[in-house]
Amino acid sequence: MMTFADRVIQFNEQLTYTGNVLPAGIRVMNPFRESPETGVIAAQFYRKYYSDDAVRYLILGINPGRFGAGLTGIPFTDPKRLVSECGIAYSGKVTHEPSSVFVYEMIHAYGGPGAFYEQFYINSMCPLGFTTVDEHGKEKNYNYYDSRALTEAVRSYMIGNIRKQIALGTRTDVCFCLGTGKNEQFLRKLNEEYAFFGKIIALEHPRFVMQYKTATKQVYIDKYVRALRDPAAFTG
């Protein structure tokens, strides 16, 4: 019988962009195609925390960034946290992603990686990332909702991937959405049409907290933990 880990590893291995043609200047970032090591690292992580057949809550972010999941293949886990928090070796460049800092502080407040990953599976509305190059020639992260043309191009691809992530073994009574702006709006709109989930709980995106609300970060950590521990009672 396949475990949750087996299904996620298989999902990652088959990840390829099959949507409509992207707007000019937008590149697909597939962590599992860009570095052979990424698949190995991610497999170690999922086998460590997901080698069972438990049903988990799904947490959906936006799309992977270059310095976190773009390198490790694990959403909101940058190389620094991969080593220090998950105990998994990493031989590449050790980068720092503010979102990952917040997520692992929250995970500690929840009870630690073992307790957290036993209950939750994190991925993204679009499990592949996007990048663009600015006027100085620097590659930058690009969100699926940053242009209407990109959103429309990847819409059907994202719908298919939400279905695939549910099929991994995630609950459909409640889904957690990271982002209370455009990501939440888009997920709710899709949910009205396709009825993926009974209830969607949106929480402020880790990047938003780290960029604009650092002084009150603990308030957001507490809010996350409250929502995750008792989603039925959570009202915001």
pLDDT, one tens digit per residue, over 29-45 is: 999 998 888 999 999 99
Q: What is the mean pLDDT of residues 90-108?
A: 93
**Measured distance CA(152)–CA(11) in Å, rounded:** 23
Q: Please, which pLDDT band fits residue 49 given cuts at 50, 70 and 90?
A: very high
Per the CB < 8 A criterion, the answer to whether 176 and 201 are in contact is yes
Domain, as residue range, for 73? 4-14+22-228
Q: Which of 182, 180, 175, 228 is nearest to 200 (CA)?
A: 175
Does 180 fall in a domain? yes
Confidence at 70, pLDDT banded by 50, 70, 90: confident
Mean pLDDT of 47-56: 98
Average pLDDT along the chain: 95
Is 235 contained in some domain?
no
Residue 215 falls within a domain, yes or no? yes
Instruction: Report the pLDDT averaged over residues 122-141.
Output: 91
Is the pLDDT assigned to residue 67 strictly greater than 70?
no
In a domain, 163, yes or no: yes
Question: Are the beta carbons of 106 and 178 closer than 8 angstroms?
Answer: no
pLDDT in the model for residue 123: 97
Residue among 56, 43, 202 nearest 115 (CA):
56
Given pLDDT bands bounded at 50, 70 and 90, which one contains residue 176?
very high
234 in any annotated domain: no
Q: What is the DSSP string of 163-212?
A: HHHHHTTEEEEEEEEE-SSHHHHHHHHHHHHH---SEEEEE--HHHHHHH
Q: How does DSSP classify residue 135? A: T
> How many domains, the chain?
1
Among residues of the chain, what percentage have pLDDT more than 90? 85
169 in any annotated domain: yes
The answer to whether 144 touches 125, Cβ cutoff 8 Å, is yes
pLDDT above 70 covers a percentage of the chain that reads 99
pLDDT at 35: 84
**Cα dihedral 91, 72, 96, 177 in deg (nearest 10):** -170
Q: In the predicted model, is pLDDT for residue 134 greater than 90?
A: no
CATH of the domain at 96: 3.40.470.10
Measure the CA dihedral 152/103/176/90, to 10°.
Answer: 60
Does 236 reside within a domain?
no
Assigned domain for 61 exists: yes
Mean pLDDT across 188-197: 98
